Structure 1
Amino acid sequence: MSESFQASEIDAGLANITVKKTPHHTTRIRLYVPTTGQNGGVWSKKLPLVVYYHAGGFITQGIDLKPVHDSCNLMARELNVVVASASYRVAPEFRLPAAYEDGVDAVEWLSNSSEDDEWIKSYADLSNVLLVGTNSGGNVAYNVGVRLTFRNLTPLRIRGLILHEPFFGGEKRCESELRHVNGQAVRDFYWKLCLPEGASRDHKYSNPTVGDGPDDMEKIGGMRWKVIVTGEGGRALIDRQRDVAKLLKEKGVDVVERFTDDGDGNNAELGDHSRAQTLFASIRSLIHSCAP
């Protein structure tokens, strides 16, 4: 389905929204193509493709909600990229790894649609693809990347991952969790709903630094992908995000850390234009450094 769309609050360069369904689980993909730079509807060159996975703690939100739509809308315009906003099944009806499976479906559909879908064929540079996610979406982007290591996705080529304040956990409280106890019970409840039945927060889906999680990091290192991990010091998960970034580096991954010393709201970059610029600057730098 394709339709013209005008954002209600953001003067975005958005031409159309296309919603697709993949063969499994009716995973949907909403495509955003910026209009800025178009010449009679024709681009001088194809644009990097950002596959975006939304936030929500694995149990809320979706690609149709206005905050997610506006964020992808703004991302397409500000970064001059094609954004594929991918849906995924949520808990408690669908526990992990359902979200990861859907995330893989989205990437595989994009790879297989290169000749059949006019938007992908005309606008997206499938040789320059980034997997990007916020909060639980950052966790999804990471685990989708793990599942796609060494898989032949030709003509699609993943260049890197951007884990924006990724949602990770663990049984033992880290120091930042002990400093910021507000919301801890809610986060624990989210993990209880979304992890496989009987799994603790030290399952690798929650805590990739334990068990065979480090082996997954070595797989990513073998792909020579670049990874950005972001986090803010005023939030409870900053130490977990730092630990993941540190171990990724130890396992041979090219990691850029974008950690700040403060923060005053969950995923505020996505709701505030000025704060979004900080995030987008990091994404832009990775896009340029990953360009083929």
Structure 2
Amino acid sequence: MSAQTVPQPLVIDPFKLLHLTLNPDGTLSRNPAVYLTVEATPDPNHPTPVLSKDIPINPSKSTRARIYLPRQALDFLSPPATKLPLIVYYHGGGFILSSVDSIYCHDFCVNIAAEIPAVIVSTGYRLAPEHRLPAAYDDAVEALYSIKSSSEDWLVKYADFSNCFLMGTSAGGNIAYHAGLRAATVVDELLPLRIRGLILHQPFFSGVQRSGSELRNMNVPVFPLAVADMMWDLSLPAGADRDHEFCNPMVEGGSKLLVKVKSEGWRVVIIGCEGDLLVDRQKELVKLMEEKGVEVVGHFTVGGYHGVELLDVSRAKAMYVIIKDFLSSPKLATLA
């Protein structure tokens, strides 16, 4: 992209845009009237195709998870051979926003659970800047240990622990990646939970040097570059820049832990779109994984915007097909 075609950044106050106040002590005040939440529906008599219930992960950290169970499982899944795949999901929000009961996260998990079908465990984590990275990664891995030893009825009866995938959207995709790298080094400790792969939905990565898509899409209204930069400023360890390994997966030739992902035979799918300012970083990650010998495929569609599958029904349905094929196929060639 030539200097003549690079757009100039709009003057945007990301705090005002997101209805946030940065307090003098470095914490954030988040407007609850804007960030709506929804209660779980654990009652089997509730007329919903997917039931949900909350379970604690670590009360001392106030972390918890929400389990999503397709109603059909209650009628048809008595034999162990028919258990559903297990997806451990990490929500987005730039590491600073949202929770397992945020309405967009709840609805998204309901739809995935129904469409695949699968048992979804949407796990929460502590938010920045009150808890900067790697706190979210610590909580993400802690949730895996909690799930693997859980006696929760919905998990024991209906989830196939030997067929588990880590999935995340945006910042959650970043968390799924880094939690996955850690989990690949402790596979025996996580048994009977056996992770088979990663589903990275528009994962949140960046770097000090601007990518082409960051420059092209810097002023998109849904997720402008100024907001992304603010989120990294608030979530990275104090004093770190965007070339920290938490933010830029390409640093020093990529994580040495990818060799463990390869040796475990995990499969990875990265889903994005050209209208997202993050797309070039996601494509770089696909290439990096290919070079490391990881079985990976990238699915990048034209147009769109960051989080498009959370709002556009047709785009969401297309993504459900990709995920369903990914979970059921031993080879990624069918997704290409």
* Residue in structure 2 matched with residue 13 of structure 1 by the alignment: 49
**SS, match of residue 42 in structure 2:** strand
2:240 and 2:146 map into 1 onto residues whose CA distance is 31
Q: Contact 2:57–2:63 at 8 Å: present in 1 too? A: yes
Mapped pair 1:74 → 2:111: yes
Using a 3 Å threshold, how does the CA distance of structure 1 residues 125 and 93 change in structure 2: closer, same or farther?
Answer: same
Q: Which amino acid aligns with 2:277?
A: A
Q: Summarize the alignment of residues 1-292 of structure 1 with structure 2, pairs less than 5 Å apart.
A: 3-4=42-43, 12-22=48-58, 25-36=61-72, 38-39=74-75, 42=78, 45-113=82-150, 116-151=151-186, 152=188, 153-182=190-219, 183-211=224-252, 213-263=254-304, 265-290=305-330
Deviations 1:105-140 (A, max 9, x none): 111111111xx2211110110000000000000000
**Matched pairs, number:** 285
- Report the CA distance between 1:36 and its aligned residue: 2.2
Instruction: Answer with 11-20 or 176-185: which moved more.
Output: 11-20
- Report the CA distance between 1:40 and its aligned residue: 7.2
1:56 and 1:62 map into 2 onto residues whose CA distance is 8
Instruction: Answer with 183-192 or 96-105: which moved more.
Output: 183-192
Q: Which amino acid aligns with 2:70?
A: P
**SS, match of residue 280 in structure 1:** helix
Q: Contact 1:5–1:16 at 8 Å: present in 2 too? A: no
**SS, match of residue 121 in structure 2:** strand
**SS, match of residue 89 in structure 1:** coil
After superposition, the CA RMSD in angstroms is 2.1
In structure 2, list runs of 5 or more residues that go unmatched. Answer: 1-39, 332-336
Q: Contact 2:261–2:294 at 8 Å: present in 1 too? A: yes
2:138 and 2:316 map into 1 onto residues whose CA distance is 29
- Report the CA distance between 1:290 and its aligned residue: 4.7
Using a 3 Å threshold, how does the CA distance of structure 1 residues 6 and 267 change in structure 2: closer, same or farther?
Answer: farther
The structure with the largest alpha-carbon Rg is 2
2:112 and 2:48 map into 1 onto residues whose CA distance is 9
**SS, match of residue 33 in structure 1:** strand
Instruction: Answer with 84-93 or 18-27: which moved more.
Output: 18-27
- Report the CA distance between 1:23 and its aligned residue: 6.6
Using a 3 Å threshold, how does the CA distance of structure 1 residues 239 and 18 change in structure 2: closer, same or farther?
Answer: same
Deviations 1:234-286 (A, max 9, x none): 121111100011001101110011011221x3211122322111111111111
1:40 and 1:260 map into 2 onto residues whose CA distance is 36
Q: Contact 2:165–2:197 at 8 Å: present in 1 too? A: yes
**SS, match of residue 100 in structure 1:** helix
